[in-house]
Amino acid sequence: MSENFTTRELDIRTGSRETVYDLTRECESFLRDAAHGRDGLLNVFTPHATMGVALLETGAGSDEDLLSALHDLLPADDRWQHRHGTPGHGRDHVLPALVPPHATLPVLAGHLALGTWQSICLVDTNISNVNRKVRLSFLG
């Protein structure tokens, strides 16, 4: 692989309840090792059919607001065709259509070029799978 492209896979434990997991620190740590002060792009990807990546403010209630909105849009009930796992699990398989499993972000001088209140978050409504993988890739 080219020295201009670096990737790392993370193991994340999201817990046994719906969650918005702030991944920003892990992304910054990866860039310290991979970017070496260069400009480029960070790609965040999760290879799961029931999880997404979102940019949002955390800690001020937006993370809970997102989960609440997803509950309204994707109720955990028996309407879903996909019917294995916990009741309503089919909705978890629809989540990535609304919250995609990837994000590509600008990196300037080796640092994430996020807005003041933006954080990189995993959105996980699947309470049956708490062990998750995330692939971080830097191209610069």
Full set of structural domains in the chain with CATH: 10-135 (2.60.120.460)
Question: For 75-103, what is the mean pLDDT?
Answer: 91
Calculate helix-pair angle for 62-73, 90-98, nearest 10 degrees. 120
- What 3-state DSSP class applies to 3? coil
Question: For 116-126, what is the mean pLDDT?
Answer: 96
Residues 6+ apart with CB under 8 A from 86: 76, 127, 128
- pTM score: 0.93
- What 3-state DSSP class applies to 112? strand
Lowest mean pLDDT: which of 3-7, 51-55, 102-106?
Answer: 3-7
Say if residue 3's pLDDT is above 90. no
